[in-house]
Amino acid sequence: MNKKSILLFILLVATGSVFGQSTYFGKNKVQYEQFDWQYIQTRYFDIYFYDVHYETAKFSATVLESAYVVISKELNYQVRKRIPVFLYASHNDFLQTNIISGMIGEGTGGFTESAKNRIAIPFSGSLEDLRHVLHHELTHAVVYDMLIGNLFTSLLSRRRLFMLPLWYAEGYAEYSSRDHWHYRADMIVRDATINNYLYSPELVAGGLEYYQGPAMINYIADNYGKQKLGEILAKGKIHITMNKALESSIGISMSEFWEDFSIEMKRRYWPEISKRSKAGEIANALTDHTKDASNRNEKPIFSPKGNHLAIFSDRSDYTEIYLISAVDGSIIQRLVKGHRTGDLESLHSYLSGIAFSPDGEKIAFVSKTKGKDALYFITIKDREIYKRKRYDFGSIFSPVWSPDGTKIAFTALNDRFRDIFVYDIEHDSTYNLNLDLYDDMDPHWYPDSKRLVFSSDRPHPDNDFILNNFDEVVNDSLNWGAIYYNREYGNYNLFTIDIETEEIVPVACGPGQNREPVVSPDGRKICFVSNRNGIDNLYLTDVDSPRTFAITDILTNAESPSWSPDGKQIAFSSFNNRGQDIYLLKDIKPAGDNGVLEPTGFVKGEYLNNWKKEAPGDSSFTKIDSDFAALRLVDSTEVGYSFVNDGDKNSADENTLPPITDTDEADSTRIENGEYIFVSKDDSTRDGDAVDGLFSDVTDSSLTGNMLTPEEMAVFDSVAQNSLLPNGEFRVHNYRVKFTPDFVSGGFSYDTFFGLRGQSVFAFSDYTGDHQIFLITDLVNTIDQSNLQLYYFYNRMRLNFGIGAFHTKNYYIDSYDHLFSDRLYGLQSSFSLPFSKFFRAELLVSQIFIDRRFHDGNDPRTDRSTKATVASFSLVQDNILWGITGPLNGRRSRLDFSGATDLFGGNSVSFYAAEFDYRKYWHLKGLFSTAIRFSGGASWGKQPKRFFLGGTSNFIGNTVIDAEVYEEDNLYFASVITPLRGFDYYEFYGTRYFLTNFEFRYPFIDYLQTNFPIPMTIRYVTGSLFFDLGAAWENDETFKGGSSFGDPHLQDIHAGFGFGIRANLGIFVLRYDLAWKTDLATVSHHPKYTFSLGADF
């Protein structure tokens, strides 16, 4: 479970009342399905799967064991505990995971969390992507085991505090899983070097860690030796900081390393400027991400008339579909607003495309809705959705409309395979064109609507695949798993398929990874993307001849080509200077040397020693044999052992293009950029009784010998010996719920008044995260003086619920200096029903008992008890995007109905209330934004609920509270409404209230570094100008908002204005506000300043 989420839960429980007075928003993780988990075991791994993915688990078993050998050798370390791996059947299923509590972004391809060292990965349909992500995430699991160790030691050892920087964590993961380097990383680092956005190590983030990170790791490995990679981690545990770890292991400081590395990158990439062109130098730019504040403009498609293009763009922060001019790129209209409602939850722009109908009056696209992907059809004129075609596929990609207008072809993940499907519009029927074990993508129609061209990783003569005789068993009922593993995968080429005969024919396209084919309007040429020179460029191949040549030679890349209807122009997208834009190529002719491009230095082998020297996609495909060689027992306990593989010896393919991260997701509880997610919980603890890593006793002169003892190895071997059945298949075990700790914290003290005191926090969950237990204790001498809160949450179903019990004892001194205490105890249950990612209903029911005791002899009040049954029902909507210190764009709202009664009779609290809270945010440009909030509420009943208005939440300092606040109904059942700046906390109260807030938020300081007396670095300090207006009152008849006596002014309505500064310090946001009161006629002479914690509203 995410540690920040645990701490947030503890903070909410500890600081708020049991009724949840804080206004809570947030998006929802919806469990659309319940997975019946099973697992298989290998020597080091427990691999969990469900449904038909036993074969995927078998494939993963071999990949993981083989990858572990590589990682173990590179780091000179062997894990002490088994590693659980969870395989999700699709990305849509993966988004439902409870293994971590935070929301997962569309571009996240997998994660590893440190509490239980669990790996979770979705299957996209690509075996190469699965291989890569398994290896990538496994590096994190091994490093976690290496750095964190077991629970007891990690709590006591200061060496566990080493915070591994992102550039090293993700850099090494990519280095190891990509066979040291990848052409995509080469492109990003080339662009970053040329456009001067390589960052010094401490600032590498925002996705760049996945590209600059492996470049830095490569630099270390090539200049100082691979053995230094593990040594740096070991030294980090000793010296705590990466700077000292580098100095101790490679003999230079971080600043010296950065200087040497940046010079090498300039030496390598600057010469490329004179060899190749930017996209804007050979084609007309139709979008400019540096001017329209977008990050991605992609997937262009010409309209049938050729005057417009439909594109995806995130210029509004949300990914949407726009219609732009094909002449100058001006916006004609926004066709689809996505990522705001459950009906259009995600448009998958980084994977899928848009299709125009032949008459140009309609478009088709893919969007996620209700947990599954669906085909959407809208009219251009009125932008209305006139049809949705829902499927039960794991995912859907890239629809394309047939020229005769009768069919839609698309790619879909059907169980374990990604195939091409055709939707017959007239008959409303869908059929599979090529049911086989290959990964088929990017379909595009020929003009006759009878054939499709597509990309696939099936064998192709242009790329020297070993053509095995698979055809005779492909459609048989034999064990597909054996075929699954004995085939090559990951090398994509072009093919055609006849939709009547289903005959598949390879297209002559040359070497490299060949993808995204589009047929010219006359049917005589195919334009496609190939990386054969180390960069994704556009190529043309003649249908009637084997001639293939490049038509672009770009510094970065060209992708997503689309022919104009007259065949004279090609639109495409290209990455440059950190963003993606749309370009129009009008001069279609051979580029480079008559269509042959000069290879990059990476392809030619001009880089450092350890980087691969073979051409991308030329022969680096992968074949894994089905005899599970990686599972064979070995006697050696040394890292240098190797497993025998009777299959092909070629290395894993390093050339599959990773998906671009969906940037419209933001989450403050985790680091989420690039392809994968590295959950930054380096100081978390984990359960287990395995022997701790030998690094607990490591010294500068003792950095080797981190191997398992024969006794330790025997434990792993025992599992491996019992993992297979006599027929060679795995034993399949059913998942059973078992609670293990996620987080444990505690301490104790002694004083003469309370005696022995102890505080403890425990968080437990099962491996899936579907069951969670929280125990918070504060023991003080005797049980009746102690605090205890125990909660259980069940998250497996769509309806999430929790139950809990609590007991607290608090002492107070009121404004009359009277000492009294409250014993608060009872039961609580909560229910949450998400209708979509953005909308949910909540129900909270509590039975409360309050025993108040007065301890001053001269206090005239007598002891009393209060009982109340409290219930609240809420509707919550939230689609906001986060900025640095608060929401940046979107809308959130909440409607609450609550009530209380005493089911047992006696001194009761009885009320019912209604409240609303609406907030809207507009992102203007950069870090400039505006925010507006309207909220209000009212209460009725025998003892109406009070609303206290004024001040700022989570302020730092003291306040004088009126004695009336300490009454039970006010202290435990009232709501505190903020911010009304310029006034004191609790200053106004009533049974009615309204509050309106206006803010203009702007960037204040980009970067601030201090050296003395406290050295620190602060980035992205923001400012705000605000105006608050609100009132709280008891009687509607006596309430007067303003007065015209003298100068018109406010009377019972109160207002404040001022400015503030916010700094995100990593673990919290620090706010400073300076506010003046005003009645709109006068302004207070002295402002009120406040320091507080927390994000802006």
Model pLDDT, residue 757: 62
pLDDT at residue 635 is higher than 50: no
Higher pLDDT, 466 or 753: 753
pLDDT at residue 227 is higher than 50: yes
Model pLDDT, residue 549: 96
| Residues 394 and 259 occupy one common structural domain | no
| Counted domains in the chain | 4
pLDDT at residue 638 is higher than 60: no
Which tokens sit at 669?
Answer: 């509880």
Higher pLDDT, 632 or 787: 787
H helix count then E strand count, the chain: 18, 55
Distance CA 434, CA 416 (A): 14
pLDDT digits (tens, 9 = 90+) for 378-427: 999 999 999 999 999 999 999 999 999 999 999 999 988 999 999 999 99
Model pLDDT, residue 745: 78
Question: Mean pLDDT across the stretch 491-497?
Answer: 95
Contact 56, 62 (CB under 8 A): no
pLDDT at residue 189 is higher than 50: yes
pLDDT at residue 1066 is higher than 70: yes
Question: Mean pLDDT across the stretch 474-482?
Answer: 32
Report yes or no on 454 lying in a domain.
yes
Give me the CATH number covering residue 243: 1.10.390.10
Single residue among 688, 719, 734 that ends a domain in this structure:
734
Which tokens sit at 376?
Answer: 């959407």
Report yes or no on 868 lying in a domain.
no
Model pLDDT, residue 275: 95
Give me the CATH number covering residue 1056: 2.40.160.50
User: 902 pLDDT band (50/70/90 cuts)?
Assistant: confident
User: 756 pLDDT band (50/70/90 cuts)?
Assistant: low
* Backbone torsions φ then ψ of 309, nearest 5 degrees: -130, 140
Report yes or no on 452 lying in a domain.
yes
Model pLDDT, residue 4: 45
Among 672, 679, 674, 669, residue whose Cα is nearest residue 112: 679
User: 468 pLDDT band (50/70/90 cuts)?
Assistant: very low
Distance CA 101, CA 115 (A): 13
Tell me the β-bridge partners of 47: 40, 85
Distance CA 648, CA 665 (A): 41
Model pLDDT, residue 909: 79
Q: Around 169, how many Cα atoms within 13 Å sit in the side-chain half-sphere?
A: 29
Distance CA 157, CA 292 (A): 50
Model pLDDT, residue 325: 98
Give me the CATH number covering residue 567: 2.120.10.30
Report yes or no on 928 lying in a domain.
yes
pLDDT at residue 640 is higher than 90: no
Model pLDDT, residue 5: 47
Q: Which residue has the tokens 């100008």?
A: 1025
Model pLDDT, residue 772: 96
| Residues 501 and 621 occupy one common structural domain | no
Q: Helix, strand or coil for residue 160?
A: helix
Lowest model confidence (mean pLDDT) among 858-867, 972-981, 1023-1032: 858-867
Contact 708, 714 (CB under 8 A): no
Model pLDDT, residue 958: 77
Among 6, 20, 31, residue whose Cα is nearest residue 795: 31
pLDDT at residue 614 is higher than 90: no
Distance CA 131, CA 67 (A): 9
Model pLDDT, residue 1008: 81
User: 754 pLDDT band (50/70/90 cuts)?
Assistant: low
Question: Mean pLDDT across the stretch 627-639?
Answer: 32
Higher pLDDT, 356 or 618: 356
Single residue among 700, 715, 734 that ends a domain in this structure:
734
- Strands 579-585 and 284-285, by their bridges, are antiparallel
| Residues 82 and 130 occupy one common structural domain | yes
Tell me the β-bridge partners of 297: 313
pLDDT at residue 642 is higher than 50: no
Contacts of 641 (CB under 8 A, 6+ apart): 69, 634
Report yes or no on 89 lying in a domain.
yes
| Residues 455 and 402 occupy one common structural domain | yes
Model pLDDT, residue 608: 58
| Residues 263 and 283 occupy one common structural domain | no
Report yes or no on 112 lying in a domain.
yes
Lowest model confidence (mean pLDDT) among 160-164, 253-257, 570-574, 772-776: 160-164
First to last CA, the chain: 26
pLDDT digits (tens, 9 = 90+) for 148-165: 875 444 444 433 567 899
The three state secondary structure string of 418-468 is EEEEEEECCCCEEEECCCCCCCEEEEEECCCCCEEEEEECCCCHHHCCCCC
Question: Mean pLDDT across the stretch 445-456?
Answer: 97
Contact 611, 619 (CB under 8 A): no
Single residue among 862, 891, 911 that ends a domain in this structure:
862
| Residues 846 and 719 occupy one common structural domain | no
Higher pLDDT, 816 or 499: 499
Contact 628, 62 (CB under 8 A): yes
- Per the structure, the complete domain to which residue 67 belongs is given by 38-271+607-648+659-734
Lowest model confidence (mean pLDDT) among 106-110, 643-647, 773-777: 643-647
User: 1016 pLDDT band (50/70/90 cuts)?
Assistant: confident
Per cent of the chain over pLDDT 70 is: 84
| Residues 926 and 836 occupy one common structural domain | no
| Residues 47 and 8 occupy one common structural domain | no
User: 960 pLDDT band (50/70/90 cuts)?
Assistant: low
pLDDT at residue 644 is higher than 60: no
Among 451, 456, 452, 453, residue whose Cα is nearest residue 440: 456
Report yes or no on 964 lying in a domain.
yes
Which tokens sit at 972?
Answer: 């435990």
Question: Mean pLDDT across the stretch 597-612?
Answer: 78
Which tokens sit at 414?
Answer: 């059907």
Report yes or no on 869 lying in a domain.
no
| Residues 219 and 258 occupy one common structural domain | yes
**Average pLDDT of the residues of the chain:** 84
| Residues 935 and 835 occupy one common structural domain | no
* Backbone torsions φ then ψ of 286, nearest 5 degrees: -100, -20
Among 625, 614, 640, residue whose Cα is nearest residue 513: 614
| Residues 219 and 90 occupy one common structural domain | yes
| Residues 979 and 835 occupy one common structural domain | no
Query: Can you give the C-alpha Rg of the chain in angstroms?
Result: 31
